[in-house]
Amino acid sequence: MATKLANTNMAFSCRLALLLGLVSISSLLGAGDTEVLEPRELIRAAMEHWRGVTSYSEMTMIIHRSDWERSFSMQAWTEGDKLSLVRVTGPKRDAGNGTLVKEQNMWTFSPKINRILKVPSSMMNQSWMGSDFSNKDISKSTDIIDQYDHSLLKTETVDDHLLYTIESIPHEEAAVVWGREVTVIRDDFVMLRQEFWDQDDILVKEMNSTELKLMDGRVVASRLRMHKTETPDEWTEMIVDVVDFDVELGANLFTLSNLRNPRQ
C-alpha cells in the first residue's frame, strides 16, 4: 500500500510496486542487452510482475508546511494494483479514518460522522487527508500507462546500479494535465525520482526517494518526498516503517463494511 499511496499522480500506478522493488529486473533483461529494452515494456513487465502481489505495511506520513507540521501513522493493505485499504492509526483524533480504493473508485470513512463517502469525480483533484497527494494520486489505475508515449532518455551507472531515465509524454486525449513526466528507475525497479513538467516545460512538482532500505527481502524506497517546486518549504513525506509481502489477506478486507468496521 505504501505503494498505493505513493502512487502519485500519474504515470505508473504501479509505482508502489516499483517503489517497493517487487520486480526483479534481471528477469526482464539479459545482462547485456539493456539497450534493446523498450521503456514501455519495462514498465508493463514491472506491472505484470506486481499483479496479484499482496502486502501489508505500516507507514508514517508527515505533512510539512512553513508554519506547522503534522504526522499520521497508518496501516495499509494492498492486493495487486487495483485494491488497497489505508487506515489511520494515530494521532488519536484522526485514528479510524480510512480510505478504500477499488479499481478507479474510492471511498472514505470517518468515524466522527460514522459515514462512508464515495469520493465523487469532482473531488478527485483535492488533497488526500491534507497532504500533497491528491485523491487521484491515491486511486489512479494502471490503465494510465497506455495513455503515454514512453521513451528512454538515458541510462547511467551509479553505485553499481543502472539508472533508467524515462520520459513519458501523455497522448492528446489522455486525462493528464502534465506536458511530460520524467521518471528515474533503478535496475532493481526502485523508483528514485519522478518529475512533473507543465506544458510550458516548467517543473511543477517532483517526488524523490530519499532513502532506500532492504525490507522483507526486497529493496524498498522507504522514504519518499513529494513537493511542489514553487513552494519548497511545503512537502509531504511517506516513511515505510514495516512492510510484509505476500501476506494472506481475508476475502472481506477490501469491502465497504470492513472500511467501516475493521475486522482484520
Task: Give the footprint of another protein on this chain (CB under 8 A).
Answer: 104-105, 118, 120-122, 124-126, 170-179, 196, 198-199, 204
Using the minimum distance from each CB to another protein, give the nearer residue, 187 or 206.
Answer: 206
List the beta bridge partners of residue 195: 182, 206
List all residues 6 or more positions away from 250 whose beta carbon is below 8 Å from its beta carbon.
263, 264
CB of 173 to another protein, least distance (A): 5
To another protein, the closest distance from the beta carbon of 127 in angstroms equals 11
Answer left, alpha or beta for residue 189, where phi above 0 means left and psi between -120 and 50 means alpha.
left
Closest separation between CB of residue 192 and another protein, Å? 23
Q: Quote the CA–CA distance of 38 and 227 in Å, as a whole number.
A: 29
Minimal distance in Å, beta carbon 140 to another protein?
10
How far apart, in Å, do the first and last CA atoms of the chain sit? Answer: 16
Question: Between 121 and 257, whose beta carbon lies closer to another protein?
Answer: 121
CB of 39 to another protein, least distance (A): 21
Q: Which is nearer to another protein, 96 or 179 (CB)?
A: 179
Which residue's CB is nearer to another protein, number 69 or number 103? Answer: 103
According to DSSP, the β-strands at 69-79 and 54-64 are antiparallel
Round to whole Å and give the CA distance between 11 and 1: 17
- According to DSSP, the β-strands at 191-197 and 203-215 are antiparallel
Q: Whole-angstrom Cα distance, residue 123 to residue 126?
A: 5
C-alpha dihedral over 143, 148, 153, 154, to 10 degrees? 10
What distance in Å separates the CA atoms of residue 241 and residue 71, rounded to the nearest whole number? 13
Nearer to another protein, 56 or 128 (CB): 128
Q: Which C-beta is closer to another protein: that of 9 or that of 75? A: 9
- Report, in Å, the least distance between residue 233 CB and another protein: 18
Q: How far apart are CA 115 and CA 4, in angstroms?
A: 23
Nearer to another protein by Cβ, of 126 and 210: the residue is 126
Output the smallest distance, CB 48 to another protein, in A. 24
